[in-house]
């Protein structure tokens, strides 16, 4: 088949919607983004990673400090359990308050405020 004939057949197939999907090059979603949108996407990924790391550090700080705190302040297991319970209660309360705050001000401002707090 000649090149001109093949091009005409392909054009007709595309016009009628019968084109072979494998031969039609479609740009991916990532290819359709502008440079600024790509930078924003990576910034948001970094922001979410930072907030996750801060969350994990918060949750593990008391566990890492348990032996030091018990020795320094002469605490029993029950005293340490009360500290952990108070921390978890405050954490759960702030999840509710923080969630309502983010609902009110929006995700961008809410996330920025929660991470910088």
Q: What is the pLDDT of residues 55-64, one digit of tens each?
A: 888 778 888 8
Please report the pLDDT score of residue 93 as a whole number: 93
Task: Count CA atoms closer than 13 A to 88's CA, side-chain side.
Answer: 8
Residue 12: per-residue pLDDT: 60
More confident position, 115 or 53: 53
**Cβ(105)–Cβ(113) under 8 Å?**
yes
Provide the pLDDT for residue 89.
93
Q: What are the helix (H) ranges across 17-76?
A: 35-72
Residue bearing the bigger pLDDT, 52 or 9: 52
Read off the tokens for 38. Answer: 């790509």
pLDDT computed for residue 87 by the predictor: 87
Instruction: Check pLDDT > 70 for residue 23.
Output: no
CA atoms within 13 A on the CB side of 112: 5
Kindly report, residue by residue over 78-107, the tens digit of the pLDDT: 998 998 899 889 988 988 998 899 899 998
DSSP 3-state of 94: helix
pTM exceeds 0.75, yes or no:
no
Q: What is the pLDDT of residue 2?
A: 52
Distance of CA 106 to the CA centre of its chain: 15
């Amino acid at each position: 088949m000649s090149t001109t004939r093949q091009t005409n057949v392909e054009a007709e197939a595309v016009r009628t919607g019968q084109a072979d999907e494998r031969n039609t090059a479609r740009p991916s979603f990532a290819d359709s983004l502008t440079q600024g949108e790509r930078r924003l996407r990576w910034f948001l990924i970094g922001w979410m990673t930072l907030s996750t790391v801060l969350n994990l550090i918060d949750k593990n700080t008391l566990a890492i400090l348990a032996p030091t705190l018990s020795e320094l302040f002469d605490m029993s297991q029950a005293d340490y359990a009360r500290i952990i319970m108070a921390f978890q209660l405050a954490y759960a309360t702030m999840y509710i308050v923080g969630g309502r705050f983010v609902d009110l001000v929006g995700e961008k401002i809410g996330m920025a405020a929660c991470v910088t707090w």
